[in-house]
Structures are given as structure tokens and as C-alpha cells.
Homo-oligomer: A and B are copies of this chain.
Amino acid sequence: MLIPALVDISDHNQDWKVFVGSGALIGVLCALVSAATRGDRPRFTQRLGFLIVTSVWIVGAIIGAVPLYVSSVSVTYAGAFFESMSGLTTTGSTVLSGLDAMPRGVLMWRSLLQWLGGIGIIGMALLVLPALRTGGMALFHMESSDKSDKVLPRVGQLSGGLVAAYVVLTLLCSIAYTGLGMSFFDAINHAMTTLSTGGYSTHDASMGYFEDDRILIVATIFMVLGALPFVLYIRAFLPRRFQLWSDPQIGVFFAICVTLTLAIAITRRVYNASSIEEAFVSSAFNLVSIITTTGYASDDYTLWSNAALGIFIFATFLGGCAGSTSGGIKANRLYILYKLVGANFRRLVRPHAVIQFKYGQNPIPPEGVQTVTIFFFLFFGTLLLGTVALSLFGLDFETAFSGTLTALANVGPGFGQTIGPAGNFSSLPDGALWILSATMLLGRLELVTVLILFYPPTWTD
């Protein structure tokens, strides 16, 4: 809260009071929560864990919304909550326009929400969700040790390493942006929303504002870095047995990026007669932006061609790697589903063969497979029901479907004129914004973590 307050004070903007006031409020709340949870009852660990994880994000979004609501920016509370949730979940959908002329404290606040949300989800996926056995980087966890107790003493060390890697990468990115001519303020903000694969910008035209292919290339590189498992960056500092850690999802992720970039680049040559260089840079940037679930745009790519649009919609589902800041289905699940289909096919044609079912060098236990299939079912179920729910508010099919999808995968822009990369979410009714806020949270916490709270046996003995 102090950073945007200082920015606003330096700009002589009265919004600084908002940030200082909100900061004080949070301090009081934190004190209350820590007091209330002191008498922790270990018997309820599992369900209390789900409740705490979900509550932390909701409370965070409520707090994050306060400065936006109270500031000089005109927005309803539903809009402010949507914007805050979109920030914390690193979705990056926005109800705001006129960003270029907005108080810099508000812009900084949006970027900070994404940056904090990014490191928050990395920590949660690595340290909390595996303990709750609902996915995240559970596979890494299983690889390292089957007894969760053993992991606990390393938590402090691991967290420190992850935060350090995140900070260093953000600094490198902002230095690169500054070197390519961005203002210091723009560079810091975009670096924070690049590494968090969040996608908020300080300009309505997003990365298109800078009209510089070199910036797009740098952004592409750092978006990819943000979508790789962060454990990769601290591998060298981990105990010896982790240093050989290799992860098949990384290959899947790169294969997807390269294949789809080439496919889009071909459609650019065919339908838009772009030069080879222009076709390749714009394809790679906008597509990697979608696959890593960042959501920057350099152009309204939805108008390129129906062929490119189809590929972009497909890409919106995929996501980066588990253990990164990105959302979507994620490459580790795609890999497991691919193996699952292969194993099932093999079982059909070789009824007596022994099926080797592995992730990298490690066998996948049946619960690991079930967790992935459950996620997949809940993902598409939520996508369908969210589409129906939004259509009940009068939204057309493309807006309802792509809005739910982009929220669920934490990508940011949808498709169609209303919420596409050239539009924003400001024209949506408040009810739709609440539904989308909930969908972003569902997507960010990998569905089960939230939905299990609505499963009655969770609360009965």
C-alpha cells in the first residue's frame, strides 16, 4: 500500500490517503485473523485448509478493491471487486478504460495486485495445495518425497528462493524494458505484470502502445519465463537429489508454443500478407501471451482471420506449466491426459500387457490420475455452466463463452467485440461481473479447492 501511496504523493494526487487508509485497515484485519486462528484445532486441518486458502484470496480481493472503489476512478463496487480479483488471480481482465490518463497510484496498485498474486500462487501451488492433495505441483511433491512432513523443514528455504528468483526476474525484465525506451514507471509496471503472467497494462493499447518489435520480443521471453515452473530457477540451490529434477511438462509447453506460433504465422502470411518478420513477431507475442495466460495484446488479433481466431481460442485453454504464475489446464495435465489416453488404448489392444504409467521417471499413483481427470471434468463443467449463467444475463454466446473461458483460465481478454482484446468488461452487468470474479477464483485455485467447500460432507462429521 505504501508504494502506490508514495507514487500518488509524488504526483500530488489525493488518492494517497486511500492507500494509507487501506493499509491501516489491512493491518487491523491481519491482527484480528492471526488472533482468531491462534487456537488452531489440528483435527480439522484438511477442511480448515480449504477454507483458509479460499478465504485468503477472497479477503485479499475485497481489500484490493477498496482503493480502486474509493479512488477518483469511477467504478461500481462490483467493478472494483472484479478488477481486484482479476489482479490477484493474475487474470488481467479490466473494467477500466482511459488507462493512459489514470492516476499512477491506481495503475501501480493494479500491477502490484498481479505481482503479489503471482508469487502467491507459486507459493500456494508448491507448498499448500500438495498438502491438501488437490493438484498444484503435487507431482513435483510426489517426486521429491511421499511424506509431506519431510518437506516442512525446507519450506522457509524454498520460499525464500522462490521470492528471490521472482524479484530478480522482475528486475531483469524492467531493466530490459527501460533499455528499450520505456519510461521507468511503465517498465516497472509491465515487468510486474509480465512475470506474473497477469497482463495489466498502463495503456489502453496494451503492449501495442510502444510500437516496438524489440519490446514484444523481450516481453515474449519473460512471459515464457513466468510460465515455467519456478523451481527450475532455484534448482541449483536445492538439496542434491532435486538437482537432477527434470519435468516433461516443459517440453510439452515449448512444443505447444512453437507449433501454434508457426500455425498462426502461416495464417498471417496467407490471410494478412504480412512480412515474414512481422508475421512471426506478432504471432509469437500475441500467442505466447495467450498460452502463458498473460493476456497482453499488440493488436486486435481476433480480426486477423477466422483461422487465426480458432487457434487463439484453442490456445486459451492450454496454459503454461504447473508451479508457475500461469493458469489454464497447464502442460503437466495435458501430458498426463495424453498418457492416460495412450494407456487406455494400449489396454484395449493388449489386454494382458503391463501398463507403465509414468510422469517423467516417476510412476503416477491412481489418485494422481484421478485428480487430473476430476480437474478436467470440473473445468469443462464450470465452462459450460458459466456460459449458461452469463447468457441468462443477456450476453451473446461468444461473449458468454469466451468470458467464462478467459476468467477460468486466468487469461484476461475474451473474444468478440465486447470483451475482446480491443474491448473491456465495463459494459457487462454487475451480476455478470460477480460470476466472472467467482470464475477467476475457481480457476486460480484449481477448482477443487473452492468447490469442495460446497460439498456438504465436508462440513459433517
Contact = CB atoms under 8 A, between A and B. Distances in A.
29 contacts: A267-B392, A306-B394, A306-B395, A307-B391, A307-B392, A309-B391, A310-B387, A310-B389, A310-B390, A310-B392, A310-B397, A310-B400, A311-B391, A313-B391, A313-B397, A314-B384, A314-B388, A337-B377, A340-B370, A340-B377, A342-B455, A346-B457, A348-B448, A349-B452, A350-B457, A373-B373, A373-B377, A376-B376, A380-B380
A347 interface: yes
Ordered nearest first, which 4 A-B pairs have the shortest CB separation?
A310-B391, A373-B373, A310-B388, A345-B455
A344 B380 CA distance: 17
Contacts of A390: 310
A86 to B, nearest CB: 23
A387 B349 contact: no
The number of chain A residues touching the other chain, given as a range, is 35 or more
Interface string A300-330: 0000011101110110010000000000000
A74 interface: no
Nearest to A394: B306
A170 interface: no
Contact of A377 (B347, B376, B387): B376
Contacts of A311: 388, 391
Contact of A455 (B349, B351, B374, B389): B349
A24 to B, nearest CB: 37
A346 B455 CA distance: 9
A396 interface: yes
A396 B396 CA distance: 15
A214 interface: no
A386 to B, nearest CB: 10
Contacts of A349: 46-47, 452, 455, 457-458
A451 to B, nearest CB: 8
Given A373-B340, A392-B307, A395-B306, A348 B387 contact: no
Contacts of A351: 46
Contacts of A93: none
The copy count of this chain in the complex is 2
Nearest to A372: B373
Contacts of A133: 348
A168 to B, nearest CB: 36
A71 interface: no
A347 B306 CA distance: 44
B306 A396 contact: yes
A371 interface: yes
Contacts of A244: none
A303 to B, nearest CB: 12
A380 B345 CA distance: 17
Given A46-B351, A448-B345, A306 B340 contact: no
Contact of A391 (B306, B341, B398): B306
Given A350-B457, A377-B373, A380-B380, A307 B345 contact: no
Interface string A353-396: 00000000000001100110110111010001101111111111
Given A340-B373, A397-B415, 15 more contacts: A306-B396, A307-B393, A307-B394, A310-B388, A310-B397, A314-B385, A317-B384, A337-B377, A340-B370, A341-B374, A346-B455, A349-B457, A373-B377, A376-B376, A398-B398
Contacts of A70: none
